[in-house]
């Protein structure tokens, strides 16, 4: 593979085609950091409007750090993987507590922050500050796997990390990282890649051998766990609903309907349809029940649990909390949301 020719070809392709995402209009390290965290495990088309809402609400690192976790989770609603938001918030507080007002320029300091790993630090430092670090995400792994016919990356990300460092353009590291990721998003896609439109087709070993579909080499995937679960939506006639957090083990920091156990079961419960929800390697089948109670009884229930935090939310208040897609599915099933 000819390194200089590869660099020239990719950057020449990228320059006129780069998409005008909102985070590309800034060199503010805080905003670039927010975008990179959001883009992990979330489709870019979903991230774009969510990013603009988030930075409008928290335009600076200091304002994010000063916000409550509830406010941050509310602004994160719809993006999923809420641990990312909690880590981002915790990292912002760590930085402001130390008197910092932006993402650190020192990579070791960046890597010490909650939720910041090799990819995030390299992406932010290269894009915001022009530092020479190769950012290797899933798109880059796929491109490099085909380009050099590489085996699956090991626990240290090798050999992809080494190949990525060798190819990185030291004069334009931020553009190079973004170009390689965009090539994976738009051309070197997981299925039916557009090799005829690829600026690196002439350098690609998998393309030359006509084995593009064999790369990346698939790894054996662990079996997904099927979990059956009951949830009870307790509400009053005005639509106020009792929610809890701290019980459901995989979203213990978010508000959800009661995870149904014997202490909340009742003869007046109405069985609704089941909803399905996936979290990482688990597939949940949630059987939904609902119960209408007097407002006073609802408030009493909010004070009685010894194992969870419970609270009654009026319909208008639901927009101000971190709303997981599971909560939305269950409330819609119980006919409390449109």
Catalytic residues: 36
d(CA 96, CA 104): 11
The length of the chain is: 338
Nearest to 216 by CA among 187, 194, 188, 179: 188
d(CA 293, CA 336): 14
d(CA 199, CA 212): 15
301: three-class secondary structure by DSSP: helix
Contact indicator for 285, 276 with CB cutoff of 8 Å: yes
Query: Which helix (H) or strand (E) covers residue 230, if one does?
Result: strand 225-235
Q: How many CA atoms within 13 Å lie on the side-chain side of 24?
A: 13
């Amino acid at each position: 593979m000819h390194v200089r020719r590869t660099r020239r070809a990719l950057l020449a392709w990228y320059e006129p085609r780069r998409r005008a995402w909102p985070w590309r209009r800034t060199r503010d390290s805080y905003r670039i950091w927010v975008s990179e965290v959001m883009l992990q495990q979330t489709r870019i088309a979903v991230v774009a409007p969510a990013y603009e809402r988030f930075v409008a609400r928290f335009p600076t690192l200091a304002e994010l750090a000063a916000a409550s976790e509830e406010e941050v989770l509310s602004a994160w609603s719809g993006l999923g993987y809420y641990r990312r938001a909690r880590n981002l918030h915790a990292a912002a507080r760590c930085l402001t507590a130390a008197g910092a007002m932006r993402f650190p320029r020192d990579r070791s300091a960046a890597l010490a922050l909650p939720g910041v790993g090799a990819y995030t630090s390299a992406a932010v430092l290269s894009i915001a500050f022009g530092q020479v670090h190769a950012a290797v995400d899933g798109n880059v792994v796929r491109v490099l796997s085909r380009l050099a016919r590489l085996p699956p990356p090991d626990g240290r990300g090798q050999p992809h990390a080494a190949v990525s460092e060798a190819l990185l353009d030291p004069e334009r590291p931020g553009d190079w990282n973004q170009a390689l990721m965009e090539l994976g998003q738009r051309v070197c896609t997981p299925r039916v890649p557009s090799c005829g439109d690829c600026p690196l087709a002439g350098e690609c070993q998998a393309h030359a051998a006509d084995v593009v579909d064999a790369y990346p080499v698939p790894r054996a995937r662990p079996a997904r766990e099927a979990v059956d679960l009951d949830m009870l939506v307790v509400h009053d006639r005005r639509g106020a609903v009792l929610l809890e957090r701290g019980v459901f083990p995989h979203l213990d920091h978010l508000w959800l309907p009661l995870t149904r156990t014997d202490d909340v079961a009742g003869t007046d419960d109405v069985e609704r349809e089941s909803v399905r929800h996936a979290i990482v390697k688990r597939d949940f089948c949630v059987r939904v029940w609902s119960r209408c109670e007097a407002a006073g009884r609802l408030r009493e229930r909010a004070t009685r649990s010894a194992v969870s935090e419970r609270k009654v939310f009026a319909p208008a208040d639901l927009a101000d909390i971190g709303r997981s897609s599971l909560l939305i599915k269950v409330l819609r099933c119980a006919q409390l949301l449109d």
